[in-house]
Structure 1
Amino acid sequence: MSATEVVHSMLTALFAAAAVRALRQSVRTRTGGCRSRVDHLLHAAMALAMAAMPWSWGGALPALPQSVFFAAAALWFPLTAVRSGPEGRLSATVRRLPYAVGMAAMTWMSYRATGHAQGAMADGVPPAHQAMQGGHSLAGSKADSVVTGGLALYLLACALHSLTRGIPALRTTTGTVADSTSLGSVCHRFWDGATAMGTLVMLLMPH
């Protein structure tokens, strides 16, 4: 097994586990109502698509419907932010923004797959048209790099924030009920961070 296949296998295992957890959470959730269940189901759908994406057979999944679906999912999270206690609408939206960006990254990867497929079909175009397309491709590649870089930086920040924020809580656990709740929050942040990091790797990998 090559190094690339090892990385693909690790990503598939990560996202498969994330999908199982999200489906389990959608069944067990007792707070948030329908919105919370939809959140978890969207996470599960994204994780399943990501688990398949590294492999050649994952390319058989239609890219355009994926782009549309995950674009709608990216809008779902900020548009359905609601106030919770003292938390204002803006704070609620910011709290859900990392999930929206994760869905946006999935949308972008699906969109790039569609663009590459169309580019591959452009072989045999007359030279004059190829020259024009070359200029557009250069501008498009720069725009692609900007979008990919912006998404990558945000995902990296989210991953580091989620994975490191719970470390002090682990050091101060004493076995109380409150500590159990804190440990659950740490576990939730771990999965958020691990999923963001996996999405970052997928975003930067050639497809």
Structure 2
Amino acid sequence: MGTAHIHLALAMLIVSLGVSGCGTLNSMVGGNSVQEARTKIVWNYEKGSIVVLAEGQPTLNQVSGKSHTLAILIVQVNDMNQLVKMNENENAIAGLLEGKLGSSVLAVNHFYLEPSCNKTYIADRAQNAKYVGVFAGYFDKPKEGFGKFYEIGTQVIKSGRVVKTYTVEPERLVLRIGFGSESITNSETLAADYKFETKDSCSH
């Protein structure tokens, strides 16, 4: 029996069993379900998979009426609770700003943003990273409680016309974040395929 006939026979069998039996039959002949694929997701390293579109206000990091450059941290972990604890501990954030990595941190990227500038920062996703925290080192301000947390999304990839195989993979994280005089003023998670400009712009 040729391949085409085998596929036709499988298709007819699936129809005969009805919708309720499709998932079971698909697994029996070598396929899987989306739920099964999610349990086998591998959080691999991926180059350039975290993007931060940073928008600095004219009053950025202002002290005594004068604006300053702001240090920004992109912190990657595999447990959201690690970011929550970090956000409650000024010493932990200060340590990261000084380059001291905690044992729970998978990766830290340092960037700098100037007042009245929009900049695009691109970082590699670390192995096993599932969550990203963004912290800013404002002058003369308590550093705890200033962080924003984001979950790295996933995408479902389907292959096969009769026997369906699903794979779930981490997807690119694209963030737009506004930084004001004393804190992060706004943030949003954009679509993974969002088309962004890599060219920086400033309006001094």
Higher helix share: 1
Q: Based on CA coordinates, which of the two structures has the bigger radius of gyration?
A: 2
Query: What is the TM-score of this pair, normalised by structure 2?
Result: 0.24
